[in-house]
Amino acid sequence: MNPMLNIAIRAARKAGNIIAKGYERYADVQVLQKNPNDYVTNIDKEAEAAIIEIIRKSYPEHTIIGEESGAIEGQDQDVQWVIDPLDGTTNFMKGLPHFSISIAIRVKGRTEVGVVYDPIRNELFTAVRGEGAKLNDQRLRVDNKTELTGAILATGFPFKQSKHMPMQFAMMNALIADCADFRRTGSAALDLCYVAAGRVDGFFEIGLKPWDCAAGDLMIREAGGIVCDYFGGHTYLTSGHIVAGAPRLVKDILNKIQPCITHEVK
């Protein structure tokens, strides 16, 4: 096994144990509001600390970028661990059992390893560049859906950037003319993994951060799908808007949503 993948899995499982125990007593979880509609809990922070500790023991020179801790610069800035200790914090706070840990390892600006772990279902999604994507050691392939008709699309609302809400609804209105239905689960990392696993056909969202989608991005590409921004480019890790799925389906999604894009989107 890739040694960095092994450490990422160990870190994800350690964080998963912390989160699962917290979930059993979620009524006692301490919640802080970072920004409007943006929350962090003591469990987020404990899980991130556990991930960082495990990474530091094996790779003290690497840089770590965490949702809660920000950038922890290492001597080797060519290797970056991009981590979200709890993607789906609101679900966790409400006792809704759908959330995940996301860890991506980027080397010289390219994602080499991705791990997304759902501690409630004990589902471990992994990907290594050039070696494919797996769910609990079972190989993943995107559903080769070639058209929007009958497609199930996952999405997320830009609740932290309400100015994009009208555009979001316009896009959904344009897509629903052909697709079958939408899913809005509350964890972008799991949405991307579900595309890789064929559980949903495609995904689109705006307002994401690198730690939300870096691991899931690799998962889809290693499962035979493609990932792009709303303009069909490759800026999604910085722009925060993303479309993913089988190649033909992504093309159809872009054709539907691009007329809805507002001038604020870059």
- Residue 86 known to bind ligand: yes
Rounded CA separation 45/136 (Å): 26
Name the band, by pLDDT with cuts 50, 70 and 90, for residue 123: very high
By DSSP bridging, strand 76-87 and strand 62-66 are: parallel
- Residue 38 known to bind ligand: no
What the block records as the tokens of 179 is 């697709």
SS3 content of the chain, % helix, strand, coil (to 5): 40, 30, 35
CATH of 3-139, one of 3.30.540.10, 3.30.70.1070, 1.10.10.60, 3.30.420.40: 3.30.540.10
Q: What value does the mean pLDDT take over residues 71-97?
A: 92
**Where are the domain boundaries for CATH 3.30.540.10 in the chain?**
3-139
**Where are the domain boundaries for CATH 3.40.190.80 in the chain?**
152-260
- Residue 135 known to bind ligand: no
Percent over 70 (pLDDT), the chain: 99
185-244 tens-digit pLDDT: 999 999 999 999 999 999 999 999 999 999 999 999 999 999 999 999 999 999 999 999
Rounded CA separation 144/16 (Å): 31
Instruction: Output the pTM of the full model.
Output: 0.94
- Residue 87 known to bind ligand: yes
- Residue 181 known to bind ligand: no
DSSP 31: E
Rounded CA separation 136/104 (Å): 17
61-82 tens-digit pLDDT: 999 998 888 888 888 889 999 9
CB under 8 Å to 27, separation ≥6 — which residues? none
Residues pairing with 21 in the sheet: none
- Model pLDDT, residue 96: 94
CATH code of the domain made up of 152-260: 3.40.190.80
Q: Calculate the average pLDDT of the chain.
A: 94
The overall longest dimension of the chain from CA atoms, in Å, is: 52
- Model pLDDT, residue 159: 84
CA-closest candidate to residue 105, choices 43, 158, 51, 153: 51
Name the band, by pLDDT with cuts 50, 70 and 90, for residue 29: confident
SS3 100: strand
CA-closest candidate to residue 245, choices 130, 153, 128: 153
